Amino acid sequence: MILKLDPSLRPADYGPVFRKFGRIHIPGILDPAGAVALEQRLRRFDAWTRALTVGDPGDGHAVLDPDGLDAEGVCRVERVVTPPGQTDIRFLFDMHSIATVRPRPGVRDPRLIPIGDFINGPGFLDFARSLTGDDRIRRCDASATRYMPGHYLTPHNDANAGEERLYAYVLNLSRSWKVEWGGVLAFIDADGHVAEGYTPVFNSLNIFRVPQNHTVTMVNALARVPRLAVTGWMHGPGSTAQN
């Protein structure tokens, strides 16, 4: 699998919009053959871990660490923290960590290492710097994510005092996704309305400035394919990626 940006892309075409609004949707981000190969690899991937948190992690509620529990352990915790009627789940989806900017336990799956190499390669990083006009970008973390029916991410702003998160990104990899299936990356304005929403169109890249209030709407029972993506944050000079 060879991953590279579509050579016809020019950051200058998108930079002014990004700098004005702090977010952008870029279609056709990857060379088409690489996008198809990456989607097929994630479709066949079989080492997903269920990630969820209940309540505010700062209040001591349960958080599942995808790198710290095997599938059986995840199921045990889910039975405890998601009884019938539980309404305080902050996020629920499947994921696998590919590259991190801080040491984490566990061995990375070799099938996904090329993704981390691409995201932290000069082509992607130079594109991000040119698009944002921000030379501070040094490294990215990356996770493969899979949203099945019933999965979602509640509103939050990605701020984290312990990490130098400059921008968030989502590389969308679900072919033939329909807006009525949900899974929309929605940005929330100050009075709680949806200011803008990005459908997870295949082979598109969403980038947005951190902090910024956003959510992923619930994938519903109409969805015929998983909502697949590679997601993460772009970090400043103090970060060191661990592939």
Q: How many helices (H) and strands (E) does the chain have?
A: 5, 12
Q: H helices within 93-175, ranges in order?
A: 113-119, 122-132
Residue range 73-81: average pLDDT? 52
Residue closest to 153 by CA, chosen among 225, 80, 213 = 213
- CA–CA distance, 170 with 23 (Å, rounded to integer): 11
* Mean pLDDT estimate for the chain: 85
Strands, E, within 122-226: which ranges?
A: 139-140, 142-147, 152-156, 165-172, 185-188, 194-198, 204-209, 214-216
Alpha carbon separation from 9 to 131, 137, 171 (Å, rounded)? 11, 19, 15
- CA–CA distance, 64 with 50 (Å, rounded to integer): 8
Q: What is the pLDDT of residue 185?
A: 98
pLDDT at residue 58 greater than cutoff 80: no
pLDDT at residue 64 greater than cutoff 80: no
Tokens of 79: 């039975």
> What contacts 24+ positions apart, CB below 8 Å, involve 185-192?
185/214, 185/215, 185/216, 186/214, 186/215, 186/216, 186/217, 187/23, 187/212, 187/213, 187/214, 188/155, 188/213, 188/214, 188/215, 189/213
Top pLDDT among 77 and 40 is at 40
Tell me the pLDDT tens digit for each residue of 204-224.
999 999 999 999 999 999 999
Q: What is the pLDDT of residue 156?
A: 84
Top pLDDT among 18 and 88 is at 18
Which residue segments constitute the domains of the chain, with CATH numbers given? 11-235 (2.60.120.620)
Residue owning tokens 């209030």:
213
pLDDT at residue 170 greater than cutoff 80: yes
pLDDT at residue 63 greater than cutoff 50: no
Which of helix, strand or coil describes residue 236? coil
pLDDT at residue 67 greater than cutoff 90: no
Alpha carbon separation from 63 to 56, 59, 98, 148, 222 (Å, rounded)? 9, 11, 19, 19, 28
pLDDT at residue 243 greater than cutoff 80: no
Q: H helices within 45-97, ranges in order?
A: 71-81
| Residue 17 backbone phi and psi in degrees, to 5 | -65, -45
